[in-house]
Chain A
């Protein structure tokens, strides 16, 4: 009898758990579970993202490419292709661009897209168009606008293909910032906790001046979505692409563009819903609704994908798929994992101005001591080492420069000996009584980078070099870069479609690990080249110089790895920049 009473208590305890588990109603935010019947067209595609980037500070990041469009897009070879501009003419001197615009295109608020609307964008939205040396604009017809530059800008067509550098918004949502709000970032109205109003909710747009679209720290920098570095305060003319901070500033008050989707609902920190625009000027939109569900934890996102709660993830650096979870995705017959080439390059750079790495022989020795094949093993399948500052995805990539560097510890030791670093009986290298001990600084959330650092540490140990690995928070890393207080640093690196060397390699950049007047001049020549071919040649010189001077121990590139349900068909990712990754989703089908 006593046992029965005890057992009863135990059963009651268990029942509490199971009753709680069973009595819930369907979640309002949860999407269809895997138990959903197959063969039925779901109402919506659910995208798993790492954070809510509809908050004004991050702009509308992942889904920006669904709402807004640009004048041109890029093909796989990096050549401009028509989008909102059906054609264009470029004057031989590179100072005049005349755009002939698509006719019959409207913004989501019903206002027409025409030369006047484009001109208003260019004159008011300085956070976008202020980056270019635009002298003036001239309307040549209802659908024709001439843009005159004060100096040649050979990358103009490439840059305006990016949303962060060329998105077109409805003039009706451009509002002058006044009073307190007139700060460099542009004031944003509060974002409503729920949306649903026509055209989306208030305050859901990237603010004027927030052109980079970089979400606050916590994620990796988005390639191709940020402006290049600014200039030094005073004296030096503004660097190419620097946002103008003076004069009247305008903010975008609502996400109204010409793209295939509009924001239908936004619940801050939880999810936002994109609804297809009917009719869309390019044709029928196949997937009527797309829900972005915020799941900050990367492993949970993969589990949600496996459970069927979300249907695609990995579309941006803020929703990265952990390499350790990829095997499970590959083994699932319901999921597809893909790796697309990326423009992203992460250099591990030397402090070449002072200390042991001021001697080029030491830098070269370190390069000989690192076996890239071992590094590739830990970087796979999400990335690999390369041997140039740009990836094969870039139009400025030269395959003959991307030669595998020989792994030769013997040669490394010789070079170090020439530099005065001689081995002690235990193999440790010494010079003037001091051991060769350096520190690698990095900041990352990727386990691959931890392995990378450990392998380099082990390989350097084999030639008698001690490497201390120090992982710091991103703010500390940026500060170390800005003050050049490091010996070896895993720089954030963008190497983006902006085709910009300024940030990573110019001495005036806060994020550059390199300071070399010769390289500065080469980058300036690259920046001011008058045509694309000349710029390509200048780009080669920049790359050759970086390689020749051994400023970088290892270059790595990260692929864009994403996974989706096998029910999603015909999805072609756009590679121009992360914000545009899903811009072609309107053509995909989801069964």
Chain B
């Protein structure tokens, strides 16, 4: 396991360097003069050539892209993500101010969706072709099909305008968390429920479960000890990917509910060509994905002992 983790860490390092370099390139490939965008943010809308050129020289936009990238990497090696080009605050501080909200929303959405999806998927599989299965599948289909932004407005109209139970926007209390979590979680609920149902139905017909039944093992034990663990393998993969996506920020949901998360920060950084901020955010998101992937791999081994850490299997 130790060598496996070492290999994954090295691979992660290479991935991170690749991700940051590609991001750097992409920002420069986007139409628009980065010096002008930064100058505009600093001097106001009507920037002149003089201000733009000043920014270009002072921020090093006149240098070759690899040189700019190397400069940023040098700072990174000393664990310095640099300062925002626009507001000059440390990027670490900006990310730190937004990360808790993002993590909270991601975790709550995940928990909410799992709280609904796992029982729904189980019930749908165990009561195959009954009205419960149909209802669960319909619910899952709706969850997958309804766009998050549309659901958000529906939730606001119901809970804020009609029932007057929840505030439309804001961050801080549980009441603020409910609607964005529902809006984000419902899509995932549908996906996980459908996947779990399909996976469980497939596992349910396997020979080893027939053998277990023949040995007189109870249905409950068969379900929770043998069937569910195997059925969860593809579900865990999807959950891992979804959690990574949630942690990278969900701009639309954040905007609708006034949720101060990482997604909006990253988007603002992209619009303003604020390279250090964009790079910092991308780095954090990439790290999240990599860590989650490693955790998912570890979970695989726990769920299915046949999976080994070595490449030889």
Contact = CB atoms under 8 A, between A and B. Distances in A.
Nearest to A498: B46
Contact of A509 (B48, B115, B165): B48
Contacts of A355: none
A13 B119 contact: yes
A254 to B, nearest CB: 16
Given A216-B41, A216-B272, A227-B44, A300 B168 contact: yes
Interface string B69-104: 000000000000000101111100100011000000
A165 B115 CA distance: 56
A557 B298 CA distance: 60
B44 A211 contact: yes
B306 interface: no
Interface in A30-55: 30-31, 33-35, 55
A33 B165 CA distance: 9
A237 to B, nearest CB: 11
A297 B41 contact: no
B173 A27 contact: yes
Contacts of B165: 21-22
A427 to B, nearest CB: 34
Contacts of B159: 21
B78 to A, nearest CB: 16
Interface stretch (A302-310, A346-354, A386-394, A395-403): A302-310
Interface string A207-221: 101111111111001
Contact of A190 (B36, B90, B168): B90
Most chain B CB neighbours (cut-off 10 Å) among A23, A232, A296: A296
Nearest to A34: B164
Interface stretch (B18-26, B174-182, B278-286): B174-182
Most chain A CB neighbours (cut-off 10 Å) among B47, B130, B176: B47
Given A185-B43, A218-B268, A503-B46, A13 B132 contact: no
B77 to A, nearest CB: 20
B226 interface: no
Main secondary structure of the interface of A (DSSP, over half): loop
Interface in A370-426: none
B49 interface: yes
Interface string A268-295: 1111000000000000000000000111
B184 interface: no
B172 to A, nearest CB: 4
Given A24-B173, A29-B170, A478 B46 contact: no
Contacts of A34: 164
Interface string B53-72: 11100100000000000000
B119 A9 contact: yes
Interface string A50-63: 00000111000000
Nearest to A9: B123
B94 to A, nearest CB: 8
Interface in B115-168: 115-116, 119-120, 123, 127, 130, 132, 135, 152-153, 156-157, 159-161, 164-168
Given A6-B123, A20-B112, A230-B48, A270 B87 contact: no
A279 B47 CA distance: 39
A35 B127 CA distance: 44
A471 interface: no
B30 interface: yes
B293 interface: no
Contacts of B197: none
A212 B44 contact: yes
Most chain B CB neighbours (cut-off 10 Å) among A55, A225, A510: A510
Contacts of B32: 473-476, 478-479
Nearest to A183: B58
A492 B51 CA distance: 19
Contacts of A213: 44
Contacts of A190: 89-90, 93
A30 B167 contact: yes
B170 A217 contact: no
B71 to A, nearest CB: 15
Contact of A217 (B49, B168, B272): B272
A303 B43 contact: no
A82 interface: no
Interface stretch (B6-14, B230-238, B255-263): B255-263
Contact of B169 (A6, A23, A269, A300): A300
Nearest to B87: A57
Nearest to A184: B54
A34 B168 CA distance: 11
Contact of B271 (A216, A226, A269, A508): A216
Contacts of B49: 230-233, 508, 510
Nearest to A32: B167
A56 B120 contact: no
B37 interface: yes
A399 B178 CA distance: 55
A24 B166 contact: yes
Contacts of B116: 13, 16-17
B256 A226 contact: no
A187 B88 contact: yes
Nearest to A193: B97
B42 interface: yes
A25 B196 CA distance: 34
Contact of A21 (B40, B44, B178): B178
A218 B40 CA distance: 12
B31 interface: yes
A511 B128 CA distance: 65
B264 interface: yes
Contacts of A215: 41
Contacts of A268: 97, 260
A295 B258 contact: yes
9 contacts: A13-B116, A181-B88, A212-B43, A217-B272, A225-B45, A229-B46, A296-B255, A300-B153, A475-B36
Given A27-B167, A500-B46, 15 more contacts: A21-B166, A25-B175, A30-B167, A188-B89, A214-B44, A216-B271, A227-B46, A231-B49, A233-B53, A243-B51, A297-B257, A475-B31, A482-B33, A509-B46, A510-B47
Closest 10 CB pairs of A and B: A212-B44, A230-B48, A475-B32, A30-B167, A24-B174, A24-B175, A226-B44, A476-B31, A269-B260, A185-B42
Interface of A: 6, 9-10, 12-13, 16-17, 20-31, 33-35, 55-57, 164, 181, 183-185, 187-188, 190-191, 193, 203, 207, 209-218, 221-222, 225-233, 238-239, 242-243, 245, 268-271, 293-297, 299-301, 303-304, 306-307, 309, 472-476, 478-479, 482, 492, 494, 500, 502-503, 508-511
